[in-house]
Structures are given as structure tokens and as C-alpha cells.
Chain A
Amino acid sequence: MENLAQLVPLVIIAPLIGMLINLFLGKYLGERGVGMVAIGAALIAFVVAVLLLVQQTATGYAPVVVEIPFFSRWIDVPAAALYIGWQFRVDTLSVTMMLVVAGVGSLIHFYATGYMHGDSMYPRFFVYLNMFLVFMMLLVTGNNFLVLFIGWEGVGFCSYILISFWWDRAQKDKQFGTVGWKNSLAGRKAFIVNRVGDFGLLIALFLTFWTFGTLDFYKPGEVPIQSVHEQTRVIEVVRTDETAPAPASPALDEPHPAAMGVFNQAEQMMAEGATVSFGSITMPIQTVLTLIALFMLLGVTGKSAQIPLFVWLPDAMAGPTPVSALIHAATMVTAGVYLIVRSQVFYHYAPFASGVVTLVGAVTALVGGFIALGQWDIKKVLAYSTVSQLGFMVAAAGIGAYTAAMFHLAAHALFKALLFLGSGVVIHAVEHGYHHVQHLKEGEHHAEHGGDAPEDEEEPFDPQDMRNMGGLKASMRRTYWFYLIGALALAGIFPLAGFWSKDEILAEGLMRGFVEGDLVGYIAFGLLFISALLTAFYMGRQVILVFHGQPRTEAARYAGERAYGMRVMVNVLAVLAVGTVVFGFINVASGFWVVDRIIRPHVFADWLQHTVVYAHPANALMGVAILAVAGAVIMILAARSIYLHRPVVEGDKDPLQVNPQTEGLFALANARMFWDEIYDKYIVVPFTRAGHWLADRLDSAFLHDFVHDVLLVKTFNGVARLLGRPVDLGIIDGAVNGLGRLAQAIAGPLGRLQTGYVRVYALSVFIGALLVIVLLLLPLLQVMGGN
């Protein structure tokens, strides 16, 4: 059972092999083969994750560190005592993340085989997906911050290439009309915004290394100090190389590698009240931890799309829908939450930073929810919803409800993947309907005009615009029900997964304010409660706009879920829907009505608590639960009353838009609260201007025109002319030509010696041999002559 933990490298190796196979052989495998390889790789990772779950349960939740022998001293800088090995950490937290990533990942792989059917870059897509799995697993399994960071950057890169996957696809643009570069712009935006966040994370890592002299979470065999007080656990160290030599005693002048991981050192230094010096500045450890936590938060805001760096996520919906579901809803964007939960010790001792985290999360939840109200694009609504839900998770982590954050993370992964994949089915269906309509039209056209080429230059049809949908319930019955389950879960309706997780966060927030008298708790609760209400409203609006009423376009009328590849997509929806219904019960709050009598409460919290030492199981606040559900139901009914009978008023406007009282609010939400415009005006434009100045003045005018053209080129030309005429032509060419003539003159007579007759050659060899022998015997002959 213990040895099962040795399997953990497979969660990286399997997708890696799948990726390599598809990369080199994808061309020859065909769609079926490529899909099977990619799905197989993801499934192997999932099976391994399940085995690790079994292993953890069977061995008393002891964390295991697995070292890869070849990489055990992967980075080795003796001067700085920087020793970093590639170690895998198997504990309840990383196994949870592995299960989420591999589980949702496998389902989305299945889905993508249907969704990407017929795409010209089909193998490439699956290479990217498997590569994403590799890096995501690297992120969640690493035992130190550097490995985590490599995964962090790797998933960022995968996100970039997958957002711009359809880089050549035409898009509408207000300014330029139909253009083919909007997708790559979206990818670029995501990449650059993330770099800002990664800068913060890097600073946090530098500070961490300076303070603790290592980047390992825990050394092999080390137990979190906090948990030692609670219970004695059996800790085992698993080394894959049994005969590893004992570490030699380090030289005295050589800095010693730290004996403890960062978290235990942090605990110890807090207990001792230690200080850390940075050159001439000395700070108490708590300040340092606060700084680390804040810089880390910057990284989190980038990766997990929090204010102020959330602007990339909505644009990231330009990627294929499976990508949106896998990377930009279920897994990668939650890496920030994972980072905070993993670094809970830092945040525990940095209350100020935790407060900032809470506020950032709560405000993001509210802003995301508000903007989602005014979007027309089906995926944009979900994207802002994701921003909002990530805000929930971050806020939960901020108030110390780490279990709640992880629980919401896992639950959200399920139902948001369900919603995204459902929206993908809808988009696919509408697109098919559109092509069908085009086909019919062309037929008529030909009939009328006798085969003349169609000259209509209408703008491209947008299959993602909810104004082009409506009434899809009739033709897409199964999709509708699964989508409805996802939407209700997101709105927090009992007893779906979203209810349990969201309710836990709200209750924790209120408890924080109530019990500890912390103002932040109240603010968080307030903001999150409003966001929860907004969530219910915009999800109600979306479901009604998409599925209810009458079809608003011909495309929507001809949409259906029976096209090739749709079957597998809808089946994946079914699996996720079942998960959404069932998942919430693994972490039932204690004291909740009768449910906690039937089902064991907070199983998930107990499981996670073995790693996340500062986590605590939640108690239900029945009042909050009832209030939240009631509010959600009211908001859904409100959305129904507004949209069901007149979903879109004339001029493609929202009913709220024509109502003078709500007109302004809707415009604000529709314009995304002008975040992008503000960034454009105050950051992008000045930056571009500075760039232009540097390019025009410094680079072009000074460096190029003056330094290069005048100084370098002219001087060089002068020297070259001098070297060319007298030196090269005269001396060097003369010498070479002279040598040539000399060789010619000598070779002529010598050539006659080569007669071609073997016997003459033999004679010359004979003469040569004779000469050599005479030379050798010469000393002897001379002595004889002397005699």
C-alpha cells in the first residue's frame, strides 16, 4: 500500500508520453487514434490519482515525498546553499487537486474529441491539452515552490497557446471590421497580464528563499509542527534510490542547506519572534511573512483572475470551449487558490495580508457578478461568473476557511465545467443550424439566379451571442436539463454542490465577523451575499435567454443535439451533471437540519485537514442557508419575470436597457465597468507612447541613424576600402596567385614521373626502401670506415 505512492510520477509521465506520441505521430494516427492516445493519457493520470487517494486513506493520511533519483539534486548551487530536487508530494491536498485536474481533465478530453471533430489542427489541440495536464500536475504535485512555479509558468504558456489556438479565425472588430488576429491578441493579453502577476510571485519566492534558505514545503519525513501537537502520525520517507549515499559533512565555509521546510521554519521563527535582515534593513518575521503573502497575492490575482488583473480571463474565451472549461474555469485559474491554501501557514501569521486577500476576493466576486449581468456572449457571462466564483474562493481562503475554499474549488470545477461544456454544445448546435440555413439559402439562391455567385457581404454570424438563440429547450432537451442543473448549482440551490460550498463560505464569513468581531468578515459576508444574489439573477437570465421563449434566428430554429460528435459531448455533460448533484454531500456542514444525521458531515474537511493544518470543519448556519436559497430563488424568479416574455427588445437591446432606472447600470455592466478602457488609457497608452518614443527617438534616430549609419558603417567602409584595394588585391591575391603559378610550374615536370606503369612504381618503392636501409646502416658503415 505504501508503495502505491511511488506511482505519482505517472501523473506527469502519462500525459507527457501521450503528448509526445501525438506530437510526432499525430499526423498518422487519425482523429480516432489521437483522441484515444490523449484520453488514455488523461485516464491513466486519473487512475493514478484514485490509487493515491486509496493510498492516503489506507496509510493514515501520512504525507509521502517521492524523489526522482535522477533529479534529486536538480538545481545545485553550493555557494547559495540552493539545493532543489524534483520531489513529488503526495498528501491530501495534492491528491485532491490531482483528482480534480485529472477527473475533469479526462471528461473534457472526451468532450473535446467531439467538439474538435473536423478541425484541421486536431492533433495539435490534443498535444496542447496533454501538455497542459503535464504542467498542471507539476504544479500540484511539486514539493517545493520552484517546481510549483515551473508548473505555474507552464500552464500559463499552455493557456496562451490554447487561447490563441484559432489564431487565424476571422472575428468581428468595431474598428477594423472582420479581422483574423483577435484570438492571438486575446492570448497575448492573457500572457502579458499573467507576467505581471508572476513578477509578484517571483518576488515572493525570492523573499521566501532569503528568509528560510530553502523552497521546499516540507523536507522528506518532516511533519507540520502544528499537527505534531494534535496527534502523533506515522511519517514515512519513501526514497526511490535505497542506496543513496549519506550526505557528506559539509565544509564549514559552505552554507548549510536548511534542515526544515519553509512552513515549519515559519512556525518556529514566529514562535521565537525571530527577525530577518535584508542587508541593512531588519524586519520582524511577521512583516516578512506579510510581504511574502502580499506579493504572492499579486501572483494569485494574475493566475486566478482577481482584481486588478482579472481582465484577461473574459478575453480568454476566444479559445475553444473545452479549453475554456478545463483551463479557464476548472483547473488552471484555481491554481492561485491552491497556492494560498498550500501557503496557509504564511497567511495564518499575516492577518493583514489575509484581510487584503479577503477584500480582493470579495470585491472581485461582486464586480464579476455585476459585469456578468450585462453580457450578451454566452461564454463571456460564464467567464465573468468564473471571475466571481474565484473571488468567492479567494475570499474564503482569506478569512481562513481553507476547507471551504478547496471545497468550492472542487465543486466549481464540476459545475462550471458542466456549464462551459453545455455552452459549447449550444454554440456548436447554433453553428450547425447556421450552416444548415446557409445551405438552404444557397439552394434557393441558385434556383433564382441561375448559379450566379452570391454577393451578400453580411457581417459574420456570431454563434455565441445569446441574442441569436432562444427556444433551444425544444430541440435540445437533454442539454437543457444538464445546463439547468449546472446553473442551479451555480446559483446555490439546495441540494446541489454549489449550495453546500457557497453556503459554507458565507457562513464562515459571517462567523468570522460574529465570533472574532472582525470587520473584514462582515464586509466579506455582505459583498459575497450580494454576489450570490447576482449570480442567481444572471444565471436565470442566461438560461431563459438561451433555452426559453421562441427561437430568435433561423440558426437557433435549426439547432439540434444530434449532429456527429454531439452525442459524446452530451454524455460528458451527463456525467458532470451527476457529479454536480452528488458532490456536495461529501462535505455536509455539521448541524444542518436532518442531512447531517443521514450523511456523515464534513468528510472532505476531515480529509483535507491532514494537510491543511489550519483548516476547520464548518458548522451550518441555518439562517444564512435559508436566506441565501430564498434570495437566489427570488432573483431567479425576478429574472424570469423580466426576460421570459420579452427576452430581447427591438434593436437588440436588453429589457433593462430600455428601463430608465436600470439603463445606466446595464450600460456599466455591458461595458465591463470600463476596466479595459481605464487600463488602456492609464497603462497601455502611456506605455505604448514610451515605447514609440524609445523606438523613434532612441533606437531609430540615435542608435540606428547616428551610431550605426554614421559611426559604424562609414568607419567600416573606410577601413574596408583600404583593406580591399591595396592590401587584399595587391598583397594577398598576389601571394595566392604567385603560389598557384609556382605550383603549376613545379607540377608540370613532376607529373611526367607518374608513368602509370606498375613496375616503375615498384622500382621507386625499392629505391626508397634501399635509401632508408642505407640511412639506417650509415652509422655502422662509418665506424667501419674509421677502422
Chain B
Amino acid sequence: MSAVSLIARDELRLMRRNRVAVIAFALLVLLTLAAALISWSHQRSIAETRARFQAQASEAFEAQPDRHPHRMVHYGNFIFRPLGPLAAFDPGVDAFTGNSMFLEGHRQNSANFGDVRQSSLLVRFGQLTPAFVLQVIAPLLLIFLGYGAVARERERGTLRQMLAQGVSARALILGKLLALALVAALVGQPAMIAFLLIAGQPGALAGPMLVIALGYAAYLALWAIITILVSALVRRGRDALLALLALWAVLVILVPRVAPDVASQAHALPTRLETDIAIAHDLHKLGDSHNPNDPFFTAFKERTLRQYGVTRIEDLPVNYKGLLAVEGEKLTSRLFDDYANRSFAVQRAQSGLNDGFGVVSPAIALRRLSMAAAGTDLEGHRRFLTQAEAYRYDMVQRLNRLQADAVSYANDTASDAGADQRKRISAGHWHEIPPFRFKSADAADLVKASVPGLGLLLGWLILAGLALLPVARHLQKARS
């Protein structure tokens, strides 16, 4: 057996004989399993609830009686974002961004009812998910089990003894690293079991799952290397523990908490109130379809009359009010899209800056990878918003066109006793509006989105691995 395997085997034997280490390891394994089960069951319940509400909302929309189409524009419809199966592993921003939207004419609503807004503030400290356990707790266990790996040998004099026996410092470091890496692999095992559970779910994606598995393996391997590096650099085990805990606090807790604040300071988003005022101001500038003197709508009216070769709107073969609604929705939607795009540009800049902190914190790089591959990152949220808006626009314009085609101008402007009944169209039209179907990103897109995070993590891994070389050389010369 090689010196590396012998040293690794002895290190594992030491851990096995350390009751506290065994208990800590068992607790972490149980915690990961519990997190996997809780998270899986939570996500299933969310998915079922959303599917039920979606069915209820669709049913209520389709159950509307014969009505004026514009009443249906304002009646609107609720849609819910279905969760991908990998969200059980890493729910990402889902708890913060909201998952349902009310779609109606003349306005774009934001997503509502994120878990954060529905539960206590404690959820902000991190939900108990397999991703959270592996990102935050698992490095602590590796630190706890490995801080003394090399420092202890130096402190007790066995390092010199070992080197004097002809064992190279490189073999010593590799042996210790191998032992800690095996522990890391065991730590990740329950999460992989959770993964297999998830893989049994419809819609699970092999490519993104593989990237996630690779990312977490690289992250835990990185912490194993960092732990051994510090243990080899510091003379005393106690100092190694303190240094590693400080590193953990900075890299896993502090930087990931500070980075979003820095990003939001650097790329400030206007407040909701500011946006609402600005939109109202711009809407006013667009024109007022009810104002006979409004220049835009006067021009629109003349253009329409010219197009149909008539001189009065009463002579048009279509309902002018319907055409006006189509045009108005087109204008306001363009404006809303513009604001939404600007807001997303800022959010993307914030996200980019935040992701850039992955250069100094591997935890950020891993979160980026994990959320991107699970489809629960900001881009996943934007995908939902974009599809929701496209659906809303299509639904509203279908109804507006129904107003133009199926309700006559005369009836639409009438106010006699039977007018209300004549303005109504058959409820069968509502059934023809297709239901909202969220199209989640395909595997290739998710993998592509997670590549930068994976690249950063692999960069960290290579750097840390290279740092072991001079440390081994330094250790080889250890005189004490």
C-alpha cells in the first residue's frame, strides 16, 4: 500500500475513533437527509397547491357567463409558475420573487406571494434544503474534522518523525486530503440520494443534474483542500481551527450577504412608487383615447377611416372601440415592456456584479451554478415573467379583437334598456383562449447558464490545488 493510502487510512481511523467527530458526521448526514425529505415534500406540496389554484383560476375564468369582452379583460386571470423538479434541491430565488401573477388589461402586474412574504422572516436566513446544508454546513464539518490533520502532526512531533522515516510531505498532504475528500464524498451522499429521488420525477434533467453534482463535488473538494492547506500552514491546530472558521464566516456568510447590498448600491433600482409615477407620467404623454382632441388618437382615427375608406366611425365594418382597445393595449404594453426591460437590465447588472463576487467567494460561485442549473435563478424568474406577459398580451388582445369583431359599434355605444344584453358575446369564446403553459428552459440552456459558476469553482479548485505544492515544499523542510 502506498504512503498516501496508508496516511489516508490512518486519518480515517483517527476520525472513526473520535466519538465527537462520528456524532458530528452522523448529525450532518441526518440533517442532509431530513433537508432532502422536507424540501422534496415542501416542493411537492407547493407544486400541487399551484396546480390546484391554477385549475381553479382557469375554471373560474372559463365559467364566466356571456359578457362584454372588455369586462373579461378586466376580470383577468391568475397564473401560477410551476416549479421544476430540481427546485426541490435548490429553490433559489423562488421564495423571494413570488410565483403567481394576476393578468389583466392595461397593466403589467408583478409576481406575488413568494414564501418570504407569506412566512416569518426566518426564511430569509436560508431554508433547510440539501443545497443549503451542502453550501453552508458541510464545509463546517470538513473544517472540524480536518483542521488538525497536518497541524496535529507538527504539534505532536510526528511530522518530523514521519519525514525522518522517508515519507514525503507531498504524500502526507495527499494522504490527509484523500481522507478528507472521502469524508466529503460521504457527506454529499445523502444529497445524491435526494437527487436520485428527484431524478424519478417527471421533468428532471440529466445534464443540469450532472452539473450540479459536479459543482457540489468541486465545492466540497475545495473546502477539503482549503482545510488541509491551512492545517499545513499554521503551526498549531487551535490556530488552524480559528483561521478556518474565520475563512468560513467570510467566504460563506459575510461575502454572500454583503455582495447583493453592494450590487444594489452600485446599480440602484427605482422604488415601486417612483416607477408607478413615471409610468403614469409616460402614459399621460402617450395620449388619451377618450379625449376627442388627443393628437395621437385623432391621427389613429383618421388612419383607420382612411384604411376602411369611410368617413365616420359608425360606418366601419368593425367596432372602432375594439380597434381603439387593441391600439391602446399595444401602446401601453410597449411602455410597460420598456420599463420591465430597463428594470431587468438593472437587475441583470446587479446579478452580474453579485456573481462577480464568486471570484472571492466560492459559495457565491456555487450558488450561481446551483440556481442556474436548477432553473431557479433570476433568469428563470424572468423567463416566467416574459412568458406571462406574452400570454397576458395575447389574451387581452384576443378579447379586444373579439370586441372589435363580435360586438358592433352601435351596440357598444348604446345605452338603452336592452343594450347591455346586446353587448355580450358567448361564453364559448373564453374557452377558446388557450391555458397558460409555462415552458421551462431546456437542459442545454440550463447547463449553459451554469457554466460560468462551474468555471469559477474549477478555477478555485485549480488554484487551491496549486497552492498545495509550495506548502508541501515548505513542510518538507520542517525542522520542528
A binds B: no
Where the two chains meet, the residues of B that have a C-beta atom closer than 8 Å to any C-beta of A are none
